[in-house]
Structure 1
Amino acid sequence: MTLADYVEILQAEHRMERVYPFEFEGKSYWLKQPEHPHGIQRLLKPFSRAAFRREIQRIKWLILHKAPIPPVKIINSHCLVMEDAGHNVRFWLESDITAAQKQRILDDCAKALADLHEHGIVHGRPLLKDILWQDGKVSFIDFEAVSHSHKLIWQKMRDALLFIYGVCREKTTPAQIQRTIDTFVCYEDSRVWHYALALVKKYRFLYYLLLPFKPLAKTDLLAFYVLFETLLAKFL
């Protein structure tokens, strides 16, 4: 039985599951297929098949441009099969590994994102749950944006701030955040970082406006505070 044959069986058995992990001949894979909304979800997600086709086109573009994504084994209009490329970075930061190992992973991610940008590719939402790490290799999943040459710097700048926001949002120390920023700045195009800091400076009034609510803040808003406090103190 080939991998393609086995995937056909899985699709028949797990038709309603959008993402399904499985093993075949000792290797781990992920099967992704069009969502099959039911009930009220049909009204909320009426174009799930069209969305999947757009995702497939995006994956094909990323393969063509040799983006760091998990190895793709099957790709067509009704399914996508990728090799497992390890746990996401959020998992690693919450796991029982040393602080030095966690910092290495964060540094690897910062370098990988800068390298992605150097090749003219943007992610759109590089939060740590969408970045995989395994044995020093970084892979990106769930790309949210298509790279547009006429606004590429702006897209990279958004990537930069969302990545750092994601680092601030997880279980990281101030030292880890600072080191990860330093690593990213070292490898990223200086223009991107210049525009990112300019945007933070422009909207720092939001930080002061929201500051009175800090004692009540939850995870997302707390990460916003940390992002602004870190960048304002270090660079502005």
Structure 2
Amino acid sequence: MSNNHRKVFVYMLEQYNSTYWLKKCGEDKRNAINRLINFYLRHKKNRSHLVLTSGLSPKERFKKEVTLLDYANKHGLSTPDLIFKGRSFFITKNAGEPIHRQDEKRHTGLFMKATDVLCDFHRHNMIHGRPAMRDIVVNEEGKVTFLDLEEARISSNPTLRTRDFLLFLLDSYRLKQVSDETRLRALLHWYQEFGQGTEKAFRLTETVLNRFCWIAKLVLMVRKKNRLSEQLLALRQLLKSFEQEKHRLATHIALDH
């Protein structure tokens, strides 16, 4: 379908030299599969936190996002300022441009700022859900803000926190000037505060990456360049380094005692 025929749900507004964004109640993303998954999760003990946002009705998704924006603004989290909310739309103040479009010399510093913001989310039991570089912006003063809370939720679940941070690291490979040493430092920093109860989530991620890395390698052999395949292989290597560093630190602590 042509872009000209797609429904638009986000509009840019300009007034008195200020820019705002108006977001309308969105499209219906429900289908038989995500409805069935949500029915199962809602009736399964200790699984309701995994309910898929895509399986909710447009009104439910809209209400959820506004509630989360209110929560974030109330707790001082770095999300867009909610200016006005109506029954089927809300308006936020423009917060800047995506960090991957900034001068590459700034990428490392902006990545570390974004790491701190995501950690602040997790301290307040908020999961972003889709922390991609396109949804992380910086303004002229250098403030980093996370946009689009449609996939967000309130939860202290360690598996969701782990998935959140690993998705952030996965898409951070758009920032070419950020080294893996910097990413490893960020992951260790996050793990030091939020690592309790995450071992199962890390093992599952590593198992999946190890089992299916051949697909990414095959894609790169055929297409020579594929960003997702490159990112998955890079994350796999980063997690190997992470496990080695954790083992080294644990051994060092044991020897000190």
Query: TM above 0.5, one fold?
Result: yes
Cα deviation digits, residues 157-178 of structure 1 (max 9, x gap): 011110000112x1414x5243
Q: Which amino acid aligns with 2:25?
A: P
Q: Is it true that 1:146 corresponds to 2:153 in the alignment?
A: yes
2:221 corresponds to = 215
| Partner residue, 1:185 | 188
TM-align CA RMSD: 2.9
Q: Decide which of 64, 67, 91 is 2:74's aligned counterpart.
A: 64
SS in structure 1 at match of 2:154: coil
Q: Is the 8 A contact 1:108 1:136 kept in 2?
A: no
Q: Which letter does structure 2 place at the counterpart of 1:223? A: Q
Provide the residue aligned with 1:105 in structure 2.
110
Q: Is the 2:104–2:176 contact (alpha carbons within 8 Å) kept by the matching residues of 1?
A: no
Determine helix, strand or coil for the equivalent of 2:127: coil
1:20 — aligned with what?
11
Shift of 1:81: 0.8
Change (3 A) 1:202 1:64: same
- TM-score, structure 1 normalization: 0.75
The correspondence for 1:172, drawn from 176, 187, 209, is: 176
Identical aligned residues as a percent: 19
Listed one character per residue, the Cα deviations across residues 131-163 of structure 1 (whole Å, up to 9, x for unaligned) are 1122231211112131234xx211110111100
Q: How many residues align?
A: 206
Alignment match, 2:58: 48
Distance in 2, Cα, partners of 1:132 & 1:77: 27
Deviation, 1:21, is 0.9
User: Taking structure 1 as reference, are residues 147 and 50 closer, same or farther at Cα in structure 2, changes over 3 Å only?
Assistant: closer
Moved more, 47-56 or 139-148: 47-56
Amino acid at match of 2:238: T
Distance 1:157 1:131 in 2: 18
SS in structure 2 opposite 1:136? coil
- Mark the runs of 5 or more structure 2 residues left unpaired by the alignment: 1-6, 29-53, 245-257
Q: Specify every segment of 5 or more residues in structure 1 that has no aligned partner in the other structure, as ranges.
A: 1-15, 38-43
Residues 160 and 64 (structure 1), Cα distance of their counterparts in 2 relative to 1, 3 Å cut:
same
Residue range with higher mean Cα deviation, 62-71 or 193-202: 193-202
| Shift in alpha-carbon separation, 1:183–1:193, aligned structure 2, 3 A | farther
Q: 1:212 to 1:85 in 2, by over 3 A?
A: closer
Give, as a single letter, the amino acid of the residue that structure 2 aligns with 1:73: I
